Structure 1
């Protein structure tokens, strides 16, 4: 472990107490060009404010009278009242706050006089990793003061007495959104790296940044739609979502892709992957080097993939029942016809896993459980008791507001869901791009995962409302018979299908402690594996990268933390291979490789298909 760096700044004997710890800010390289660029930046900013104002006035939330569609104000009023009811808590908190700032001011003064011998902890916050933050006493003060303020606010909120869990979580979440937004790294005059770049380029970075912001606002019809990656770097079917395959069936809601084999023999039992319909399926088929689909095909599996439609207003009345009937239930029939296999193994990702569990419950109720040999759930919740940060968006007021918005168009806009997920990791998925794209004026870097992340989908209003209310708000899926679909009561506790559960330790969408609850629900044999990293990176982790490891434990105690404490860790080893060893028990014998399609279901078009190419 490296020792903390020591900021030892020698005082110049001739300084007479003047501050020589910082070099004077250089003048712009070209004063005339700088003036020209500032004038241009001012014009761009005026146009931006006009377009944003117009977009704000046209926002359906304003027309519907929802000035606070996320119902934030009420939660903060409750928190403020609770804080005021405990003066001693407030006094102690304020006392610690002022002590921290007095100490900071004393250290900053010493630094400005060149006398500082303070040992500083190495910077781990990526927002402040540039050495310019430490070279400037002013910016170092801004950085450390901000961190003190942020910690004080979060500590204060976490100790508010008398708040129910839902209100406390909402206050903590939205307070952090505000704190993230107010970071000095997000502003020109308080970010030394951006300030230096502005002077060196005579303001060219600001002009380009504002031009990019204006373009992003135009793309969002008055709302800021941040470009996270270089979209021109990727083309579906060429260098992303490019594993060879054919669309062998389609209906209103999905296209079914069958991938071409790469081995002479394949496992008898085919695989059906059910992805979430919140995003496109090809997160599991990004590029050849990290494609889960290609890896499966290369291991000798016959792989089928559901590619969900990007619904428009005509599909607004499609229900959750329709997604069950026209999705996995229909796909199973087609697969059985093409492969002549009496069994199929399922893989469900996120919301697709939730649908997979409902599918299995439906089949069991109708005496057809044997049609599925095994099921794999990737970062899937079926018990929504502890739904993580997404739960802050689920209350009656927010759902009413959301349903009113969806009613007008018949669907939820793709950007609405994308913005929600971005807020869960605001520093990484919002503010880092604000700094890079708009303050530095740099083009976003080509990144396959962010290209997929930006390729969001709409969702039918009826289906989405059912999902949010029955799963997140009421948690009815975990209750036997709590939901009825296609005239069938859903009881996932009766599922006896061999199950592999994969969760990720840093998942901000499906917290692993919540997904672990399924181990205590299913009636059949269950294997639980916990991978490093988050909701996407922990899943898309090919063995060749030797990056993220996983934990394994055959015992399934009631408490998730107990499972982890007794688990064995396998560093830099992909869960893919662990899963493959497990899946072989249900793969059947080896048979001749199958070409995509059949006489009854001839290929319609090559993968990824037109549904995946539909843009929101």
Structure 2
């Protein structure tokens, strides 16, 4: 350990005594830890890893290849042995001479930014050997070729998870940052870290869900989700919020925005500076937003048809009554965009022309390519989810959140865990991460319809998705539409979204690729002047060609969307107050449903 001036501090007897004193506090915390783990409810083991058949098939393929081509195996092993011996020899030399040579060929990895990973022989050896081991695993996986494409993709994913999990930064004895902090704070950082760990476990009935944000820093309806409005309708599925006008005149055709019910709607209203909802009112539109119910076990039998009938169709009907119009403009985000597509198909079958235009934010409709979710959409995992759903009646928010986090495990699991549990830091006061942790449960029946019928069977673009007496098909989506996708989106990859939009029956299609990812690419206010976007009216080509030939525009896509929407929003009328005589205010925005926390 070194101080800011590069000197090693003197560890006095007084320091050592205080360190021992702090570490004695571990006993009380350990008792709490044992108690919370003893009360852990548990869950089906299928949610924790792939069926062992995957690894058995991979091992069989690997050894079959080695038998046929032993020279390749020997070459890999000799390379691994050679690097391991060299790492050890360099460490021995450094310990003997006290000098460490610069390692210019070391892979750049921000986990190893502490200078001790380079200058201290012990940590340098650990870092080098970890990277050598990781490379050996990657080479072994890359040499397996006698598996189908999905199994290969899963093998690569889960082997990378093992590599990330075994990083030396994840363990106190091999994390110089954590050790330095422990000495500097006389062990207080470890006490605080253990308190954080026990608190997170207690908050989740023994399940380890790393808290990403300081929850005490935010209040929904207090300092986030503050755009003024009123709840004007409520049923078992949703609250319908009408936002107050910000202009004296508004466009006649209102907007109804359907957010995903996997998370809560206020991602679009975090704060005034980046609120899409607030910005829409300022452009002269009447906007309604659906706030979905946070499911509990009483909602176990609710399916996608209930979301369509009591959510989409009811919201559209009530907005038409309130605004005295025949048509509305609809917006769907993520899974809500997928379900908006199903709703449009159903309305086509029924001859209902209530939707004038549709906008899709990061929406998948063709699940033929499952992207980064491939590891979790095979039968072993989906069967495990179904078993857990049958037990609980719902798909719990922590399961969904954990799955999403493991797609970016270093950033969303290990790094926050290190800061909280080893360094003893309080999670940051970051509104986006607060929202990310404020999850929602899914009704069991709906979750399985989505996973089986849409994600696995891809019925909507193949034989048709059976629902409400009809076979719903993507070609039935024929209203004018705009699809906003995001270039680095790992949840709804833009190329997969593009393929779905290509198959829709609309004659008028506008497709946009925003820079950045699933959230930042959508929550991208013009005032920030941050992320640009791509446009190309020709959607006949494949996705790669579309992007290559697209025009890039600086800045947010929001003004582009508003100009497109204006042409489909009718004449100007006096601004509308919330509700009417048959729709009195049931309370101010953001309503009550959004305040319900997900059950554990």
TM-score by length of 1: 0.90
Separation in structure 1 between the aligned mates of residue 544 and residue 387 of structure 2, nearest angstrom: 41
Deviation at 1:67, TM superposition (A): 6.3
Deviation at 1:105, TM superposition (A): 5.3
Q: Which residue of 1 aligns with 2:16?
A: 31
Counterpart pick for 1:304 among 288, 299, 308: 288
CA contact (8 A) 2:100 2:121 kept: no
**Cα distance change, pair 532–125 in 1 and its aligned pair in 2 (3 A):** farther
Separation in structure 1 between the aligned mates of residue 505 and residue 425 of structure 2, nearest angstrom: 54
Q: Which residue of 2 aligns with 1:575?
A: 557
Counterpart pick for 1:240 among 224, 229, 249: 224
Separation in structure 2 between the aligned mates of residue 115 and residue 60 of structure 1, nearest angstrom: 51
Deviation at 1:39, TM superposition (A): 2.3
Counterpart pick for 1:398 among 381, 385, 410: 381
Are 2:542 and 1:559 equivalent residues in the alignment? yes
| Range 590-599 or range 199-208, more displaced | 590-599
Q: Which residue of 2 aligns with 1:128?
A: 112
Q: Which residue of 2 aligns with 1:280?
A: 264
1:401-451: per-residue Cα shift (whole Å, max 9, x none)? 222222233212221111111111111111111111110001001111111
Q: Which residue of 1 aligns with 2:33?
A: 48
CA contact (8 A) 2:214 2:429 kept: yes
CA contact (8 A) 1:387 1:511 kept: no
Separation in structure 1 between the aligned mates of residue 98 and residue 233 of structure 2, nearest angstrom: 73
Are 2:353 and 1:374 equivalent residues in the alignment? no
Separation in structure 1 between the aligned mates of residue 450 and residue 427 of structure 2, nearest angstrom: 34
CA contact (8 A) 1:70 1:393 kept: no
Q: How many equivalent pairs are there? A: 586
Deviation at 1:103, TM superposition (A): 5.6
Q: Which residue of 1 aligns with 2:400?
A: 417
**Cα distance change, pair 431–362 in 1 and its aligned pair in 2 (3 A):** same
Separation in structure 2 between the aligned mates of residue 108 and residue 335 of structure 1, nearest angstrom: 71
SS in 2 for 1:551: strand
Q: Which residue of 2 aligns with 1:80?
A: 59
Counterpart pick for 2:443 among 460, 463, 466: 460
Separation in structure 1 between the aligned mates of residue 276 and residue 383 of structure 2, nearest angstrom: 38
Deviation at 1:164, TM superposition (A): 1.4
Q: Which residue of 1 aligns with 2:169?
A: 185
Q: Which residue of 2 aligns with 1:13?
A: none
SS in 1 for 2:279: helix
**Cα distance change, pair 366–212 in 1 and its aligned pair in 2 (3 A):** same
CA contact (8 A) 1:72 1:170 kept: no
CA contact (8 A) 2:36 2:201 kept: yes
SS in 2 for 1:477: helix
Separation in structure 2 between the aligned mates of residue 176 and residue 613 of structure 1, nearest angstrom: 37
Q: Which residue of 2 aligns with 1:5?
A: none
Deviation at 1:545, TM superposition (A): 1.8
Q: Which residue of 2 aligns with 1:227?
A: 211
CA contact (8 A) 1:391 1:472 kept: no
Counterpart pick for 1:437 among 409, 413, 420: 420
Q: Which residue of 2 aligns with 1:501?
A: 483
Aligned residue runs from structure 1 range 538-553, under 5 A: 538-553=521-536
Are 2:255 and 1:271 equivalent residues in the alignment? yes
Q: Which residue of 2 aligns with 1:17?
A: none
Deviation at 1:116, TM superposition (A): 5.7
Deviation at 1:124, TM superposition (A): 5.1
Q: Which residue of 1 aligns with 2:3?
A: none
**Cα distance change, pair 67–269 in 1 and its aligned pair in 2 (3 A):** closer
1:362-383: per-residue Cα shift (whole Å, max 9, x none)? 11112223x2121111111000
Separation in structure 2 between the aligned mates of residue 311 and residue 31 of structure 1, nearest angstrom: 52
SS in 2 for 1:86: helix
Are 2:151 and 1:172 equivalent residues in the alignment? no
Q: Which residue of 2 aligns with 1:4?
A: none
Residue ranges of structure 2 left out of the alignment (5+ in a row): 1-5
1:93-124: per-residue Cα shift (whole Å, max 9, x none)? 33443454456556666766466664637975
Separation in structure 2 between the aligned mates of residue 562 and residue 529 of structure 1, nearest angstrom: 14
| Range 585-594 or range 141-150, more displaced | 141-150
CA contact (8 A) 1:471 1:477 kept: yes
Separation in structure 2 between the aligned mates of residue 548 and residue 477 of structure 1, nearest angstrom: 32
Q: Which residue of 2 aligns with 1:592?
A: 574
Deviation at 1:146, TM superposition (A): 2.3
Are 2:497 and 1:489 equivalent residues in the alignment? no
RMSD value, Cα: 2.3
Separation in structure 1 between the aligned mates of residue 277 and residue 196 of structure 2, nearest angstrom: 35
CA contact (8 A) 1:551 1:570 kept: yes
Q: Which residue of 2 aligns with 1:14?
A: none
CA contact (8 A) 1:437 1:444 kept: yes
CA contact (8 A) 1:107 1:118 kept: no
Q: Which residue of 2 aligns with 1:201?
A: 185
TM-score by length of 2: 0.92
Deviation at 1:211, TM superposition (A): 0.9
**Cα distance change, pair 504–410 in 1 and its aligned pair in 2 (3 A):** same
**Cα distance change, pair 391–43 in 1 and its aligned pair in 2 (3 A):** same
Separation in structure 2 between the aligned mates of residue 194 and residue 295 of structure 1, nearest angstrom: 44
Q: Which residue of 2 aligns with 1:19?
A: none
| Range 503-512 or range 353-362, more displaced | 503-512
**Cα distance change, pair 367–393 in 1 and its aligned pair in 2 (3 A):** same
Deviation at 1:491, TM superposition (A): 1.5
Deviation at 1:486, TM superposition (A): 1.4
